Amino acid sequence: MAPKPPPSLFTWLILPIIVLIFLYSTLLPLYTLSSTNSQPRKPKIPISPKCNLFEGHWVTDTNQKPMYDETCPFHRNAWNCLRNKRDNMSLINSWKWVPGKCELSRIDPFEFLGLMRNKNIGFVGDSLNENFLVSFLCILRVADERAKKWKRKGAWRGAYFPKFNVTVAYHRAVLLAKYKLQPKQSTVFDQEGLNGIHRVDIDVPSEDWAGIINFYDVLVFNTGHWWGYDKFPKETPLVFYKAGKPILPPLGMLDGLKVVLDNMVAYIQKEFPKKTIKFWRLQSPRHFYGGEWNQNGSCLLNEPLEEHQQQWGEQGSKTTE
Ligand SMILES: *[C@@H]1O[C@H](CO)[C@@H](O)[C@H](O)[C@H]1NC(C)=O
Ligand SMILES: *[C@@H]1O[C@H](CO)[C@@H](O)[C@H](O)[C@H]1NC(C)=O
Ligand SMILES: *[C@@H]1O[C@H](CO)[C@@H](O)[C@H](O)[C@H]1NC(C)=O
């Protein structure tokens, strides 16, 4: 029998996205009002202290149509569910999150880009951030058809919106910290069965985002799905270095994650300007079942998971993406 789909997939993939959109369309205007020359505009949805975006439920709304179609140029081809004709896309696209005690209207790309005029938004992390970025770019493009691809400063993908002079881009840094494969030769970790190690410098950000300190006005960070043995198998484990020296005794993967998070957060706080608005995007569960991403695993869910179905991984592992 096929394993049960890992639950909360849908909820936890989409919910953070909706929360981010909400934050963008409400918090940001509040922050940016003082620094724009244009007429101050009241954000459409004032944030009520009673409003808890995480309390709510999913509903289908068949009147709701996606803001973009498969011609949006910012997808990786393999990830373009619309163009690749994934089944039931209209059903999937009709789900929307309705918080219990607050109004959550759809993002208005014209208003959003208007408020973000002359500003730049960056995403740094793994494919959760990339996924968010792609749909975000496609939505924003509705307001500026002349949007063009932008890949500077170490960005993996992104777009420039000339009408508003806004850049939105993604820097791929799956562990956030710098890491690289070192083939077998290390005298420190010369153990049986090792083909080499992945050296992780816990105190050094990966080069992909080292050069962006003064460029973005808003940054969204994440990491999580790469901290697993499917990505870094025991034959080439993660070995953590601090100040250029291996940490001894060696840290396990989750302890490594913890020190990397501590160090990256400290780095961000120290190096990035105070006025840069920083978000930390939370985790979602893995979204494969019936196999890993590279072992015929699929994601055939069409509806959100029930609360009681939610769990944080398959076989207790923290993995993939
Ligand atoms: C575009 O925005 C950047 C800041 O991101 C600013 O330095 C530049 O002057 C702006 N260009 C124009 C033409 O307004
Ligand atoms: C994936 O499916 C193909 C076709 O059914 C099969 O040949 C292949 O062995 C499968 N791969 C894995 C890793 O299960
Ligand atoms: C599409 O939805 C129908 C009806 O809910 C379902 O029977 C079918 O399995 C779905 N297809 C996929 C690929 O999930």
Same domain assignment for residues 130 and 209: yes
Let me know if residue 153 belongs to a domain.
yes
Q: Does residue 101 form part of some domain?
A: yes
Nearest CA to ligand 1 atom 8: 118
Residues 171 and 291 in one domain: no
Is position 85 within any domain? yes
Mean per-residue pLDDT pooled into runs of 10, the chain (321 residues): 39 44 41 40 60 90 91 93 92 92 91 98 96 96 97 96 98 98 70 86 97 97 92 93 97 97 97 97 77 81 74 41 40
On whether residue 211 sits in a domain, the answer given is: yes
Same domain, 244 and 140: yes
24, two tokens:
């963008």
Q: Is the CB of 294 under 6 A from ligand 2?
A: no
pLDDT of residue 186: 53
The pLDDT score that the predictor gives to residue 47 is 60
The residue whose CA is least distant from atom 7 of ligand 1 is: 118
Quote the tokens at residue 305.
């998971």
Q: Which atom of ligand 3 is nearest to the CA of 88?
A: 1
Q: What's the CA-to-centroid distance between 298 and ligand 2, angstroms?
A: 12
What pLDDT does residue 3 have?
41
Asked whether the bond before 205 is cis by omega within 30 degrees of 0, the reply is no
Ligand 3 close to Cβ of residue 88 (< 6 A): yes
Same domain, 195 and 321: no
Q: Residue 26 has what pLDDT?
A: 40
Longest CA pairwise span in the chain (Å) = 67
What would the DSSP string read from start to end of 77-114? GGG-TTTTT-TTHHHHHTEEEEESSS--PPP-HHHHHH
Cα 136 to middle of ligand 3, angstroms: 26
Distance 216 CA to ligand 1 centre (A): 12
Q: Are 283 and 8 in contact (CB under 8 A)?
A: no
| Dihedral angle, C-alpha 209, 210, 214, 219, nearest 10 ° | 30
Shared domain check, 220 and 167: yes
Which numbered atom of ligand 1 lies nearest the CA of 120?
5
Q: Whose CA is nearest to atom 13 of ligand 3?
A: 87
Is the Cβ–Cβ distance between 278 and 219 less than 8 Å? Answer: yes
Encoded amino acid at 225, one letter: H
Same domain, 206 and 308: no
Quote the domain boundaries for residue 128: 115-284
Residue 72 lies in a domain: yes
pLDDT of residue 282: 87
Task: Look at residue 84 and tell me if it is in a domain.
Answer: yes
* pLDDT for position 102: 87
| Number of folded domains that form the chain | 3
Distance between CA 38 and CA 33 in Å, rounded?
8
Pairing mode of beta strands 196-205, 177-183: antiparallel
- Are residues 289 and 206 part of one domain? no
- 19 found inside a domain: no
To which H or E segment does residue 120 belong? strand 120-125
Of the ligands numbered here, which is closest to the C-alpha atom of 165? 1
Residues 240 and 120 in one domain: yes
Residue 150 lies in a domain: yes
Same domain, residue pair 203 and 310:
no
Residues 211 and 225 grouped into a single domain? yes
- How far is residue 37's CA from residue 40's CA, in Å, rounded to a whole number? 8
β pairing state of 166-172 and 120-125: parallel
Q: What is the model's pTM? A: 0.81
Asked if 234 and 195 sit in the same domain, the reply is yes
Residue-by-residue DSSP string for 130-187:
HHHHHHHHHHHHTT-TT-EE---TT-SEEEEETTTTEEEEEEE-TTSEEEEEEES--S
Q: Residue 67's closest CA among 11, 120, 136?
A: 136
3-state class of 281 per DSSP?
Answer: coil
Residues 6+ apart with CB under 8 A from 257: 223, 227
Task: Report how far ligand 1's centroid is from the alpha carbon of 117 (Å).
Answer: 9
Burial of 180 (0-12, 13-18, 19+ CB in 10 A): exposed
304 and 155, same domain (yes or no): no
